[in-house]
Structure formats: structure tokens, C-alpha cells
Amino acid sequence: MNYYSDNEALEFYLKHPLLRRIVDMKEKGYGDAVGYDYAPTNFEEAVRGYEQVLELVGDLCAGTVAPNAERVEREKHTLEDGHVVYAPVTSENLKLFRQAGLMGVSLPRRYGGLNFPTMVFTMMQELVCRADAGFGNLWGLQDCASTINSFGSDEQKERYLPMVCAGATMSMDLTEPDAGSDLQNVRLKATYDSTSDQWYLDGVKRFITNGDSDIHLVLARSEEGSADGRGLSLFICEKSCGKVKTRRIEDKMGVQGSPTCEIVFEHAPAELCGSRKMGLIKYVMSLMNGARLGIATQSVAISQAAYSEALAFAKERCQFGKAVIELPPVYDMLGNIKARLDAARSLLYETARNVDMGYQFAELARERTLTPEERAESKLYSKIADALTPLVKGMGSEMVNENVYDAVQVHGGSGYMRDYACERLYRDARVTSIYEGTTQMQVVAAIRYATTGFYSQLVDEYLSFEPSQALASLHARVRAIANVYTEALEVVASFENQEMLDFLARRLYEMAGYCVMSALLLRDANACEELFASSLARFVAIGEAVVAGHSTYIKNFNVELLNKYKQ
Amino acid sequence: MGLNIAVLATGVPNDYKALEQAFLLKDKYPESKVAVFSIGACAAGVLREAMYRGADEALASDSFVPGCHDVVLCGCQCAEEIARLTSMTGLSCVVCVRSILSFSSGNIAVECVVENSIEESVLSLPVFASVDSSAVSCRPRNAYCLLRHNRGKSPQVSHAVALNAEQTCNGSVEVKECKYYQASDEGVRTFVKEILRTRVLQSADTAMSLKDSSVVVVGGYGVGSKETFDRLFELAHLLHGNVGATRPAVDAGYATRDRMIGQTGVVVRPELYIAFGVSGHTQHLCGVKECGVMISVNKDAEAPINAFADYSIIGDAREVIDKIITYCQQEL
Ligand SMILES: Cc1cc2nc3c(=O)[nH]c(=O)nc-3n(C[C@H](O)[C@H](O)[C@H](O)COP(=O)(O)OP(=O)(O)OC[C@H]3O[C@@H](n4cnc5c(N)ncnc54)[C@H](O)[C@@H]3O)c2cc1C
Ligand SMILES: Cc1cc2nc3c(=O)[nH]c(=O)nc-3n(C[C@H](O)[C@H](O)[C@H](O)COP(=O)(O)OP(=O)(O)OC[C@H]3O[C@@H](n4cnc5c(N)ncnc54)[C@H](O)[C@@H]3O)c2cc1C
């Protein structure tokens, strides 16, 4: 089995027309080919390379990581003398990925990386998380290095990035006991000692994935007496300093493949990354956007795993003299899982493409002044990426929870038993709508793109093509739900009440989600009917029901109701 | 401080274990060079894989110059072959090496398996070492090596061997080629001989249940008919083993349900597992645990099982079963 080659949708998304532009920009005339014998000399070679490496990852994931996923639940990580000892299978997975050269996937070759675009990294992450969402976190944290690459000094890049490529692990230390969704409240203290020209960190972080990492990115309060986000800076701190201790490994519901830790900084020497006071406002925003895309990917991956498990089970299990997959309520559940999976994946890779383009223009802007056209394009891609990231994180993670729920249901009693992977998937999925910002926080980040009409514009843009005859009526139906959504926006705007907007935001967000995802899946189905047409028909039908329901709710809402609903 | 390491691939699964020992040395002494040579008619598959996993060079045997390497490793355990190779290299020889511990001032310390126990010994370089099957498995392919290879730059697999590889991929209905063991009729005969000697004669108990059998012959859907499937019993009988089946083979009525191996069937732990016309899906292979040697007979060189099998014979199950039965009868 190979998780890459057994899934045709992946090749479809890999070979998207925009990939050429992304790769051409990323490889800058394929100049690296001179100095690096593993750099491609042209676009075709680059894509062939991506495919080969994806196949390698698909093989490792299906062959080793997936079978290990069950074992890590029993073996557990342990705490020894303030440090984490990984479960043996986790160490085995890590060793394998280091040997396979998969630790610096998107970093520049100058530092030993593979220089792959976000799109391809995202696809690898889908494969890894499908095998084991917990290990996916641990491995995916290498993406933190991109923040050092974007904002660190040359010395920092030269020091840390080769370490990452060689297999050093990372962690993103943001959350504290009193600062979760509200990161402005971070208290961990950073003090500057002018005699030794050195920053020191003191304080506690909690819920940190892979908290005993080799290289920590830490959000800390560098400005004494400040109380908000503007007093925070980002620091790099190495495990080797010996002043960062793990004092607890959380006993959690799922994603056992990576330890979640409470860590203490005891006057730990650290380096400032980028400029002072920009920690939360700029760098953590960038860090989180990458991480949110990662969790969206994880959501799609778990959905894929849940679908594969449920489908296989339903074909196998017989009741009333036939396989349960032949029973309408069962194939209905399976079809819904598949539809939500395909729609979320469509949005995922659309987001990844825009992130790539935004990133490439930002890189280009660092090298030379952009032309006015380039500047306009750059702005648009970044804006789309910023708008789609909270949408795919929130929608994807909520949908994977629906999917694992249905997948367990398809299994009946067996789904409740540890013997079936589905039981683990059910628990693993739960956290996706919590970490990297809860769904509620995704709504907060996304709502302005609803109220300003940006999502509506995007849907219009996505729908502006001539559909094939077979898809014409679905095209019209997507247009129709988009209109219902726009009307609902107008109704909410007419309330002119911020609290009502906050209360209804989740509903508007979901409506936007269904419209954008339907439109994207429609485009994909138009390009490849056999892969997506069936999911599309279902997804639009689900979307119509959700959008109509929310629309009714919003139309019947008023201030009196809001006051009644207050707890 | 680098070593000049040669790995001689002779077309046995242990080739990969020898390769890993070479890589481990290179991990420790990064200036070392690992060159892989194919000895005899060994498939180019090993050479290509070696390059994908980190070898510096892959060459055909005629470019092997005896005496110019510090360490020569091979996976072959066959006494005659080792004798032939050592006379060819003229080096001192150590067998059944499980791991190479260290290297210092012209000496190398190794751990060997001697009659079920582990012994340490120190040898002076240059040395010839054959690696035991209990050594660690080979590392996976490496992304950088794949990309390098992709650019068509470094892998120096010689032309002649590369041509062989083409033939291997195309396959043929003759029992001619294996994935790791490119072999003529004669080669397969030798291979059957070796398998029989080392693995089979130890288990003479015919009354074993499928679950406990140390030799399991499995038929998949690709066997094609009940008649062919029944021939598997003849082979199993010769090898003192038992017969298993995949789910589609059971569904097609070739075998009874109690013979089904896999997720929903029996779990087996054989020393020797021979699959005929089995594609190798996880649901089946998860029922094959701690397997000693896995052999696959499949007409499709790309069948997933070939990624797991130690030997893959590309050919029609019906013809191959006949040949293997004939060879076995001759050898036993
Ligand atoms: C397994 C796991 C791994 C983690 N890994 C990391 C990591 O590596 N690094 C890291 O820094 N953190 C990590 N976290 C922490 C995670 O990011 C936080 O738990 C998350 O951001 C939520 O914060 P909180 O738990 O404090 O919840 P709270 O912020 O206390 O939220 C409680 C509730 O209030 C809602 N809420 C809060 N504010 C608002 C608002 N303004 N509008 C609407 N609703 C709101 C929330 O949606 C939630 O329903 C991890 C958490 C878990 C469970
Ligand atoms: C929940 C679930 C549980 C399952 N449990 C099990 C289980 O316990 N055990 C089990 O075995 N399966 C099980 N399966 C089925 C499993 O997924 C595979 O479908 C099955 O193992 C494939 O069997 P096969 O290799 O015989 O058939 P196929 O996949 O059809 O493969 C036939 C192979 O034979 C080759 N072939 C064809 N003709 C020839 C020829 N003339 N000569 C040589 N080769 C030829 C083909 O190239 C192919 O590789 C399960 C499936 C599910 C969904």
C-alpha cells in the first residue's frame, strides 16, 4: 500500500496549472542546479522529483507510520529528569524520516533543505497525518523553521536551519495557563542583560506539542510593564542550554503520537528573532498561519483515513443477509463523509496554492522592487491566503469531526472498540477544532472577509467559467446558495449591532464555507468529472440545507432573542 | 578519517543488510565512500536501490578491483560463494557479522553470531565481512538521493546492468527473473536448493495447523483456477508446510474459509512464505507476521507484494508452480 499512489485526487491537485508558476518563481530560473546536484534543472524535472518523494513518503507512512500509530497509544512517552523520552515507535518513526531526508522539506538548499513548495509539503503532511495525526504534528513542526527563514538574522538562519534539515525537532511555545485564545496575555518574561548582551527567559508554557524540542520558538514579554500584544517578542531557545525543563506530559484524549508538555524556562538564554515588540503582531501571525494550514491538512488526512476505514468495514460487514454498505442509511453516511472530505481537500489545496504564491511574491519583494502589476498580484494572493486559511482550518476541522462520528457509526459496536483504527481517529479528530485557535477564533479571524463581501467575490470568481452540460444545473444551484448567503449578510448588517454580529458570525462563516467549497469542488469536477462529480452533487445538496437553515435562523433573529439567550 | 567501503551484492535479501552496515560506517565516518558492486547476474534493482538509499557509486562486478577497499561487505552466507569471493579479493574474512562496532587505527571491531551467541572480535584492515541475517534492516530511500538520481547525474550503474534491469521490469513467463535475484532457470534451481537447505528441512512436522506452520504456501486470486490452486497442496506437502489463501481466492471457491490469512482470517508466522498470484494488500499481509523469507510469484512486477517480498519471481503462477515443484522433487 502507498498513501500517495492509492489516492488519485492527490495527483490531480499536484498537477494544478498554477504549480508551474509557483515552481518557476520558487526555483528562480533553476539556478540552484549549478551548485546542488539534487536541484532540478527544469519544471518537469522538479515535478517528477516531487512525485518520487511523495511516493517515498506514501510508502513510509503506509508501511511503518500507520502500523506504529496503534502501538504508540500503548507505549506512551515518558518523563525522565525533566526531559521527554519518546515512545519507542515515535523514535523509530523519527529515525526513519531523518534517514529518508524529510526534515527540511521547504527550507532553501543553501541550508540543506529540499526547497519544496508549501503545496507539496502540505501533501506530504496529508500522507503523514493520515497514518498518524500525532506523529504528523511532531514532523510538521519543522515548518516553524520557515519563520526563522523569513524573519531571522543571517547568523540565525545559518545556525538553526541546517540543524533542522539534519533532523533537530522544533516546537512552538505560545500557550500559557492564562493565555490560550488570548495570546496578548502572554506573561513569560524575557529580560535583557546588557553586561552579557544576552536575553533570558523565565516562566511557564503549557499544552506545548513536542515541548522538549531541540529548538523552541517562544513568545515572551520583552517589554516590562506592558500588558498587551505590543509588548511581546519572539525568541529562539535551544534545548542544549539545559535551562528548559519539561515538568509534565499531559494525559490526553488523542494525538498520542506526539507528547504535549508543560515546560518551565529557568533563566534560559535565548536569541531575539526579528525585531522587538513584533512577536505577536507579525511573527506569530505568520507562524500560526502556517500551523493553521497544517491543522487543516491534518483534518483532511483524518477524514481520508476515516473514510477508508468506514468504506472497507461497510463492504465487509453483513447484516440482514447483505453487506451493510447496501443499506441506504449506511451508504448515505459514507457518501457524506466522502463529499465533505473531497470538498475540504479542494479548499485545502486552493489555500496552499495561494499561500505559495503570496510567499513567492514576498520573497521576490525582498530581492527587488516589484512592478505595480506584481504588487497588485502579490497583495491579492496574500489576501486570498489570509481569507482562506481560517476558513479551511475551521471548516475542515469541524467536518472531520462529523466524518469520524459517521465513520464510527458505520462501524456500529466495532467502531467503539480499540481493535479498529476508527476509534483512535475519533479521538484524534477532536483536537483539530481546538488547537491553533479554536473554531470560534477562526470565525473571529474570518468574519471580516464575510462582512466586506470578499468571500462572495471569491465565489463569483470561482464560478466564472462555462460549466460542462452535465454540471450546468449544479453550477446554477451553487450560484443560488451564494445568493442566499449574500442576503443573510445584508440582514445581519441591517441589525447594526456588534454583539448580534458576533453571535451570528459562526453561521455566516459556515454559509461562506459551504459556498466557497461548493464552488471550488465544482471547478475541480469540471476538470475531472470522474473523480469529483459524485461528491459534488452530494456536497451541494448538504450545503443547500445548511445555508437554508442558517438563513432562516438569521431572518428570525432579533435583539430580544439575543438577550434571552444570554446565560 | 574515511573508509573505502565496498558492498558486493550477490542477489540475496541480505545484500540490504550488508548495505546498511556500510551506511552505518559512513554515518560514523562521513568521509567514507560506499561503492556497491553487483556480482554475477545480480539484478540491477539492488544497485539502483543502493543509490536511492545513499551509496556513492554503483558498479558492475567487472569494475571491482580486489585490494583497493578497507572493508568489503557482502550479504551472502553461502560458503562456496564466500570462498570464491575471498579468493578473489585476497582478504582475511569474517562471517555472520551482526554489527560493526568501531574502527580505530587500522583495526575494526565487529560483533558476530556464533552458534546462537554473540562474540566480539577485532580484525585488522583490510577485511572481508559477510553480514548475518540478524543484522539491522536497511534504511529507507532518501529524498536527496532520489532527486539526485532523478537528475540523471550520479548513479553510475553500468550500461550492461541497466539493460538487465529493463528485462527484469518487462518480466517474462519463464521462471527467469526475480526482483532481487536475477536468475536463469539454473539460478532459480540454486535458489530453491538454498531455501530448501536452510529453511525447510528443520520443520518436518506435517500435522501442523496453518497458524503454526513454518512453511506457508499461499494462493491468491491470480492463481486462476481451483485446479492450479490444488497444486499448491503438492508443493506444501513437499515442503512439509501448509496452504493458505487470500480472501478473493476463498470467495472464488479455490479454498475453504479456514485457510484465509489476514485481517479477518488467520495470522501466520512462517519461516518461509511463498505467495502465488497474491497482490499483497495490507488486509492480507497484516496476517503474515515475523516472516522469515517471503517469496512472491506474480505476473505483475509492480504488484505491491513485491515491495515486501525478499524474492519476486515475475511470471505466470501456473507455470512457476510446475517448475518449483519439479525442482523441489529433484532436490529433496
Ligand atoms: C493537544 C494539544 C496540543 C497543543 N499544542 C500547542 C503548541 O504546540 N503550542 C501552543 O502554543 N499551544 C498548543 N496548544 C494550545 C492550544 O492552542 C490552546 O488550547 C487553544 O488555543 C485554546 O486555548 P485555551 O485552551 O486556553 O482555551 P480558551 O482560550 O480558554 O477557550 C475557552 C473557550 O472560549 C472560546 N473563546 C475564547 N476566546 C474567544 C473569543 N474571543 N471569541 C469567541 N470564543 C472565544 C474558545 O473557543 C473556547 O470555546 C495545544 C493544545 C492541545 C489540546
Ligand atoms: C475489511 C477487509 C478485510 C479483509 N480481510 C482480508 C483477509 O483477512 N485476508 C485477505 O486475504 N484479504 C482480506 N481482504 C481483502 C484484501 O483487501 C485484498 O482484496 C485481497 O487480499 C487481495 O487478494 P488477492 O491478492 O488474492 O487478489 P488480487 O488483489 O485480485 O490480486 C491478484 C494478483 O494476482 C496476480 N495475477 C493475476 N494473474 C496471475 C497469473 N496468471 N500468475 C501470477 N499472478 C497473477 C495479479 O497481478 C495480482 O497481483 C480484506 C478486505 C477488507 C476491506
Could you tell me if B92 lies within 8 Å of chain A, comparing CB atoms? no
pLDDT over threshold 50, residue A489:
yes
Mean pLDDT of A493-508: 97
From A244, A261, A276, the end of a domain falls on A276
Could you tell me if B148 lies within 8 Å of chain A, comparing CB atoms? yes
Sequence-separated (6 or more) residues with CB below 8 Å from residue B233: B243
* Chain pair A-B, CB pairs under 8 angstroms: 62
- B192 and B317 housed in the same domain: yes
In chain B, residues with a C-beta closer than 8 Å to the C-beta of A67 are: 286
B302 to chain A: closest CA residue: A1
Cell of A121: 509539503
- Quick one: DSSP state of residue B220? -
For residue A78, the cross-strand partners are A85
- Which of A240-254, B154-168, B276-290 is the least confident region? B154-168
- A267 and A307 housed in the same domain: no
| pTM > 0.80: yes or no | no
Sequence-separated (6 or more) residues with CB below 8 Å from residue A311: A325, A334
Let me know if residue A444 belongs to a domain: no
Measured CA to CA, the distance from residue B125 to residue B128 in angstroms comes to 9
Q: How far is the CA of A277 from the centre of ligand 1 (A)?
A: 23
Provide the CATH number for the domain around residue B124.
3.40.50.620
pLDDT over threshold 80, residue B162:
no
- A122 and A34 housed in the same domain: yes
Q: Is the sign of the CA dihedral A384, A385, A387, A391 positive or negative?
A: positive
Could you tell me if A263 lies within 8 Å of chain B, comparing CB atoms? no
Helix axes A372-411, A454-463, angle to 10 degrees: 90
- Ligand 2 atom closest to Cα of B280? 25
pLDDT of residue A326: 97
A491 Rama sector, left if φ>0, alpha if ψ -120 to 50, beta otherwise:
alpha
> Do the beta carbons of residue A171 and residue A157 sit within 8 Å?
no
Measured CA to CA, the distance from residue A142 to residue A157 in angstroms comes to 14
Q: What are phi and psi of A482, to 5 degrees?
A: -65, -35
Helix (H, G, I), strand (E, B) or coil at B280: coil
Measured CA to CA, the distance from residue A258 to residue A253 in angstroms comes to 12
In chain B, residues with a C-beta closer than 8 Å to the C-beta of A99 are: 139-140, 142
- A161 and A207 housed in the same domain: no
Cα separations in angstroms, A353 against A22, A123, A360, A363: 8, 11, 11, 15
- Ligand 1 atom closest to Cα of A255? 1
From A377, A409, A437, the end of a domain falls on A437
pLDDT tens by residue, A413-464? 999 999 999 999 999 999 999 999 999 999 999 999 999 999 999 999 999 9
Mean pLDDT of B163-168: 30
CA of B260 vs chain A CAs: smallest distance (Å) = 14
pLDDT over threshold 50, residue A506:
yes
**Banded pLDDT at B172 (limits 50, 70, 90):** very low
Burial A385-402 (b: 16+ CB within 10 A, else e): bbbbbbbbbbbbbbbbbb
Of B143, B281, B307, the CB nearest to A102: B143
Mean pLDDT of A388-394: 98
Measured CA to CA, the distance from residue A28 to residue A18 in angstroms comes to 16
From B125, B143, B174, the end of a domain falls on B174
Residue-number span of the structural domain to which B131 is assigned? 4-174
- Do B145 and A96 make contact, defined as CB atoms within 8 angstroms? no
- Ligand 1 atom closest to Cα of A173? 11
- B270 and B155 housed in the same domain: no
Residue A495 CA, distance from chain mean position: 34
Q: Which residue do the cell numbers 454583539 mark? A: A499
CB count, 10 Å around CB of B205? 9
pLDDT of residue B62: 63
Cα separations in angstroms, A508 against A10, A100, A107, A501: 30, 44, 37, 9
pLDDT tens by residue, A162-194? 999 999 999 999 999 999 999 999 999 999 999
Average pLDDT score over chain A:
96
Q: What are phi and psi of A382, to 5 degrees?
A: -65, -40
From A404, A437, A470, the end of a domain falls on A437
- B143 and B248 housed in the same domain: no
- A98 and A212 housed in the same domain: no
pLDDT of residue B61: 67
**Banded pLDDT at B185 (limits 50, 70, 90):** low
Provide the CATH number for the domain around residue B254.
3.40.50.1220
Give, rounded to a whole angstrom, the gap between the first and last alpha carbons of chain B: 51
Sequence-separated (6 or more) residues with CB below 8 Å from residue A416: A408, A423
CA of A1 vs chain B CAs: smallest distance (Å) = 6
- B27 and B169 housed in the same domain: yes
From B120, B155, B174, the end of a domain falls on B174
- Which of A284-288, A380-384, A538-542, B271-275 is the least confident region? B271-275
pLDDT over threshold 80, residue B64:
no
Strands B272-276 and B293-298: parallel
In chain A, residues with a C-beta closer than 8 Å to the C-beta of B139 are: 96, 99-100
pLDDT tens by residue, B4-61? 999 988 777 788 999 999 999 999 999 999 998 877 555 556 787 898 999 998 876 6
Of B140, B146, B307, the CB nearest to A99: B140
pLDDT of residue B160: 25
CA of A243 vs chain B CAs: smallest distance (Å) = 29
pLDDT tens by residue, A302-355? 999 999 999 999 999 999 999 999 999 999 999 999 999 999 999 999 999 999
**Banded pLDDT at B188 (limits 50, 70, 90):** low
- B148 and B191 housed in the same domain: no
Q: Which residue do the cell numbers 507476521 mark? A: B289
- Do A56 and B147 make contact, defined as CB atoms within 8 angstroms? no
- A265 and A283 housed in the same domain: no
- B167 and B305 housed in the same domain: no
Residue-number span of the structural domain to which A200 is assigned? 170-276
- Do A1 and B139 make contact, defined as CB atoms within 8 angstroms? no
pLDDT of residue A36: 94
- A241 and A380 housed in the same domain: no
B285 to chain A: closest CA residue: A1
- A77 and A159 housed in the same domain: yes
- B208 and B264 housed in the same domain: yes
pLDDT tens by residue, A239-280? 999 999 999 999 999 999 999 999 999 999 999 999 999 999
Mean pLDDT of B211-226: 91
- B296 and B150 housed in the same domain: no
Let me know if residue A442 belongs to a domain: no
- B147 and B194 housed in the same domain: no
Cα separations in angstroms, B13 against B76, B83, B183: 9, 19, 14
Domains: count for chain B: 2
**Banded pLDDT at B324 (limits 50, 70, 90):** confident
> Do the beta carbons of residue A217 and residue A234 sit within 8 Å?
yes
pLDDT of residue B181: 36
Count of all residues that appear for chain B in the document: 332
Let me know if residue A445 belongs to a domain: no
Measured CA to CA, the distance from residue A455 to residue A449 in angstroms comes to 6
- A123 and A207 housed in the same domain: no
Ligand 2 atom 18, closest CA = B281
Q: Which ligand has the minimum distance to the alpha carbon of residue A324? A: 2
pLDDT over threshold 90, residue B218:
yes
Domains: count for chain A: 4
Higher pLDDT, A159 or B162: A159
- B153 and B192 housed in the same domain: no
Cα separations in angstroms, A67 against A258, A334, B152: 16, 24, 34
Ligand 1 atom 12, closest CA = A175
CB count, 10 Å around CB of B269? 16
Mutation site for A-interface testing, chosen from B150, B154, B257, B260 by largest number of A Cβ within 10 Å: B150
Could you tell me if B145 lies within 8 Å of chain A, comparing CB atoms? yes
Helix (H, G, I), strand (E, B) or coil at A505: helix
Residue A369 CA, distance from chain mean position: 31
Mean pLDDT of B115-134: 88
- A30 and A157 housed in the same domain: yes
CB count, 10 Å around CB of A14? 17
Provide the CATH number for the domain around residue A336.
1.20.140.10
Provide the CATH number for the domain around residue A124.
1.10.540.10
pLDDT tens by residue, A358-379? 999 999 999 999 999 999 999 9
SS3 letters across A115-145: CCCHHHHHHHHHHHHHHCHHHHHHHHHHHHH
- Do B150 and A99 make contact, defined as CB atoms within 8 angstroms? no
Of B139, B143, B264, the CB nearest to A53: B143
Q: Above 0.95 for ipTM, yes or no?
A: no
